[in-house]
Amino acid sequence: MKGENYMHLEFPSRSSNEAFARSAVAAFAAQLDPTLDELGDIKTAVSEAVTNCIVHAYPNELGPIIIKAKIIGDNVLDITVKDRGCGIADIEQARKPMFTTGGEERSGMGITIMESFMTEFRIQSTLHKGTSVHMKRRILPRGGGK
């Protein structure tokens, strides 16, 4: 039996790294042969998770963002985006659409978007220790009967 495939990235919370993270995960996910819509959903969810780290976890400093992705059984892409930032004081409040701590220019829809674009979504956070977003996306097999 073939072993699972995985990747691990770590980079500073610079806004210029958001596109890098999105592209790296999309390139990794390509081995599952996703549709353009599926790939777009994955890229958007990763972008939202990384942007939340940049804007909310490290508002006044740079810090590490860690992305782990793996392919698991039944064509599932498993992604974790983690920071070691300030943490989320109230996760239930943060999950509400339109809630943001990032100022007027932020929409407050990041968690809602991630949750709606993924098959599974989980978030854990500890104040002053960081936040971990765990997302799974099942990629529908293509090719009729393969």
The question of whether 95 is a catalytic residue gets the answer no
Specify whether 5 is catalytic: no
CB 84 within 8 A of CB 61: no
Burial of 20 (C-beta count, 10 Å sphere; 0-12/13-18/19+)? middle
Radius of gyration of the chain (CA): 15
| Dihedral pair phi/psi, residue 83, rounded to 5° | -130, 170
Q: Which of 17, 75, 95, 106 is catalytic?
A: 106
* Choice among 18, 22, 38, 48 that is catalytic: 48
User: Would you call 48 a catalytic residue per the annotation?
Assistant: yes
Q: Which listed residue (18, 22, 38, 52) is catalytic?
A: 52
Contacts of 19 (CB under 8 A, 6+ apart): none
Residues with catalytic function: 48, 52, 106
